Structure 1
Amino acid sequence: MPDPDLVAHVASSTGLSEGEAARVVGDVLAHYRQPVEEYVRRRHARLQLHGTRNPEIYRAIAAELGERLVAAPELSERQLRRIIYG
């Protein structure tokens, strides 16, 4: 169960029920708990679907990783490629 104070805050500020707020908070926390490698692979695939080329993808992912709630370590383009392609 997510932090009850956070759930209560989300419920009161959004008009969601406590149960709905708990689910939203749980979903957000799960998103931020995913391993860096999983996040990189998922974002790469999504950006490729929209026609973005790898050099732009690598720059975008590197910037996004630095903005995460708990920032991931800075990864080079080579490290990103290794995560994606093995």
Structure 2
Amino acid sequence: MISPVPDAELVDRVAATTGLSPAEATRVIDDVLAWHRETVEDFVRRRHAHHQTYGKRNDEIFTLIAAELAERAFAAPELSPRQLRRIVYG
């Protein structure tokens, strides 16, 4: 997925408050946005692979991932106008 260019005012703010160059601030912002755009499914797959790499077994891995999920914010799924109406009106 190609991310949109971060808001210029945000880039200026991050650069000014951190001492980063505008290019570095843009990379940091892109990285943070990508982190929060990760889907639950992608997160679970990534974390499962990570934990397997370090020798954990599935029963332990799934307990760890469940705890990690409780601490993490995820991007909202894309919703159609109909789905949005159902949320509001039932």
Shorter chain as normaliser: what TM range?
0.5 to 0.7
Superposed, which structure 2 residues align to 1:1-86 within 5 Å? Answer: 1-70=5-74
The structure whose residues are more often helix, as a share, is 1
Root-mean-square deviation over aligned CA pairs: 2.1
Contact 1:40–1:61 (CA<8 Å) still a contact in 2? Answer: yes
The gaps in structure 2 that reach 5 residues or longer are 77-90
Normalised TM-score (structure 1) = 0.68
- 1:17-65 per-residue CA deviation (whole Å, 9 max, x = no partner) reads 1111111111111121121111100110011001111122111111111
Normalised TM-score (structure 2) = 0.65
Letter in 2 for 1:41: R
Rg comparison, structure with higher value: 2
**Residues paired across the two proteins, number:** 72
The gaps in structure 1 that reach 5 residues or longer are 73-86
- Aligned mates of 1:35, 1:4 — CA distance in 2: 26
- Aligned mates of 2:32, 2:55 — CA distance in 1: 27
Q: Following TM superposition, where does structure 1 have runs of at least 4 consecutive aligned residues deviating by more than 4 angstroms?
A: none
Identity over aligned pairs, percent:
58
